[in-house]
A and B are shown apart, each in its own frame.
Chain A
Amino acid sequence: MPSSKRQWLWFLINIVILAGIFTLVQYMIATRMLNQYYQINLASMCINIILAVSLNLINGFTGQLSLGHAGFMAVGAYVAAVCTKSMDLSFIPAIIAGSLAAALAGLIIGVPTLRLRGDYLAIATLGFGEIIRVILQNIEEVGGPAGIVGIERLTTWPYLFLATVITIIVIQNLINSSYGRAIISVREDEVAAEMMGVNTTWYKVMAFMIGAGFAGLAGALFAHYFYIIKPDTFNFLKSFDILVMVVLGGLGSTTGAILAAIFITVLTAYLQAFPAIRMIIYAMILILVMIYRPQGLLGNKELTRKTFSRFWGGSA
């Protein structure tokens, strides 16, 4: 066990590293070293990290297979966009409103569906995700199938960075708390957990709500970065994209989800130049990873400083 002094030291080092990353990228943007294309991919990367980490909480840690993540993202995106566009709210309240609305949607959907297990739950969440999309498609006030066009671009690097860091910290700390133990116990064996007095439904709904809330946050950032949102953007294929990141990174590994989100974003961007074979290469990589690494890149392990020190033979 590291002493509390050591913990403080590591805490400070972490802060310095984060501040370093932030300042470096901010500097590169300010000096135009990162052109618009890289900035867009950086934004996609941050949004994908938030989505993957939040879905990982539901799919990886709680063990509930949800296929409706894009639906929650849509709720966050639409609510936030309506807030800034029609109600003239500033950006931060809009983000919060979007996240809360998505969390509420998570609650509404979670309560009836989380009684289901496995495949049944997957199908039910898939259906709910589509329902959200179809409802949005039929509300004329938010543009119907054409969506909301001309959203102000308010998402900037500080917001993206802060949102990503907050997402990771909140979810990581949740998992390491007693709530997190309960959540993981649900995944490991629901019956045993219930026998030990864990209110499984409560913890499942809570994890679902928190995951949905962060998906809403990602949606709000997305809407204010890409100028336009339409219901089609949030179809079930988007949910699968996020699921791919989580499975690729390893169900139940936050660092895995982060690495996979970065990997998939870079891969998609790189393969844009080969439109004809893009999908083949993308699929091949997924198949290869699944054959040789069925538990995902990191399995359910986390990449921590311990991992590194073991690797280089040092003792932690």
Chain B
Amino acid sequence: MRMKRCVAVLVLALFAMGMVAGCEQKAPNQATPAPQAGEILVGLNCELSGGVASYGTNAANGAKLAIDEINAKGGVLGKQLKVLERDSQSKTDEAMNVSADLVSKGIVAQIGPLVSGAVAACTPVMNENKVPLIAPAATAPGATVDEKTGETFPYIFRACFLDSDQGVRMAEYAYDTLNMKTAAIYGSNSDDYAKGLAKYFKEAFEAKGGKIVAQEGYVSGDKDFKATLTKIKAAQPEFIYVPGYYQEVSILIKQARELGITVPMGGGDGWDSPDMITVAGAEALNNTYFTNHYSVQDPKPEIANFVKAYEQKYSKTPDSFAALGYDSAYLLAEAIKAADSADPVKVAEALAKTKDFPGITGTMTFNEKHNPVKSIVVIEFKDGKLVSH
């Protein structure tokens, strides 16, 4: 009996500890949120664990690198930026929960989450509390706009281009620069991303006077593309657009070259991976192009410096998410400077007015839908090297 009672007491103690732990956090919250003088709080709400942990971790790393740099240069408005980092576990409900927590701590703005769905979950919290959110990589058209009323959410911004922009850019590049008049589309049918790219490429290419001679699709996980490629070859396109992710695209390009299809091919930022060269081989990738947020091998000094600093700090090459996270943090810092205040409402107004902001991922100007109008790099694979155009 005694033993049992002891165990019961222990268990209750454990519960009590859990409760106290929960309450401890409560204490500072109860007071009116007021960040300490000399500090401006920036919330990072990223997917640090779970299904898309690599996106969130890289973007958070990029943002933290930017904030360290800003602080080393004396901060903003004479104050240091302090990062509050939280993990949304790649869950939409946790993302919303984290947002509410960060907002109650008195942040000036939130960077993240990465995935469009999680951004949608945070949106009502941010709008209600009038705190801006910068989404580094939410590409869904509805992320910044209320699809029911067509009104722009006043406090939601994004740092990346939309899928539509990417499709249009590649169509322009193929038609104008490469001078291709006919094209085939062979993209993934498994996700909205690739389907969107194919749709916008087709519209833009046809609007320019080009002709789509064949349109085919594959499913993610496919390994053999030869039958469809033979069909496409028979249609004799001058250009093949392959929107999708590198896992399939790398194999697809290799098989296309084996079948003697030598025409140029193009794709979107889903191609961005070192695996492209290891799987497809440098030779097969010659004469292929993809649109991307930025190029790691860009010789521009600010990009080279960013890549160097990132590699030094995290010992890995920064991907697009890292670059977008980095840009998001600088966008915010610029807006705080422009607003001359760390008041979230004023910062949101300044963000909306952002013009010609020089980012790693291009020069950004926000349009009325809080989407950045920015340059999209087209990257060419040339003998295993990335050349940006």
Contacts from A to B (Cβ < 8 Å): 35-41, 44, 144-147, 149-150, 153, 222, 226-230, 232-233, 259, 263, 266-270, 272-273, 275-276, 278-279, 289, 292-293, 297-298, 311
Contacts and interface: CB of A to CB of B under 8 A. Distances in A.
- Contact residues of A: prevailing secondary structure: helix
A275 B87 contact: yes
Contacts of A297: 11, 14-15
Contacts of B96: 40, 226-227
B140 interface: yes
B93 A222 contact: yes
B33 to A, nearest CB: 9
Given A37-B100, A146-B192, A266 B22 contact: yes
A298 B10 CA distance: 12
A278 B92 contact: no
A228 B120 contact: yes
Contacts of B21: 266-267, 270
B86 A272 contact: yes
Interface in B125-178: 125, 128-129, 140, 142, 146-148
Contacts, number: 110
Interface residues of B, number: 48
Contacts of B101: 37, 269, 272
B117 A228 contact: yes
Interface string B28-68: 01000000000000000000110100000000000000000
A149 B120 contact: yes
Contacts of A153: 124
B193 to A, nearest CB: 10
A163 B123 CA distance: 27
Given A149-B142, A279-B49, A311-B8, A227 B117 contact: no
Contacts of B124: 153, 227
Given A35-B29, A149-B142, A233 B93 contact: yes
B121 interface: yes
Nearest to B97: A40
A14 B103 CA distance: 37
Contacts of B343: none
Interface of B: 5, 7-8, 10-11, 14-15, 18-19, 21-22, 25-26, 29, 48-49, 51, 85-87, 90-94, 96-98, 100-101, 103-104, 116-117, 120-121, 123-125, 128-129, 140, 142, 146-148, 191-192
Nearest to A296: B11
B140 A146 contact: yes
19 contacts: A36-B100, A37-B29, A40-B96, A40-B100, A145-B192, A150-B148, A153-B124, A226-B93, A228-B117, A229-B92, A230-B92, A259-B15, A266-B18, A266-B21, A266-B22, A267-B18, A268-B94, A269-B97, A275-B48
A214 B82 CA distance: 43
A297 B15 CA distance: 10
B92 A226 contact: yes
Contacts of B11: 293, 297-298
Contact of A293 (B7, B51, B129): B7
Contacts of B142: 149
Nearest to A297: B11
A273 B7 contact: no
B141 to A, nearest CB: 11
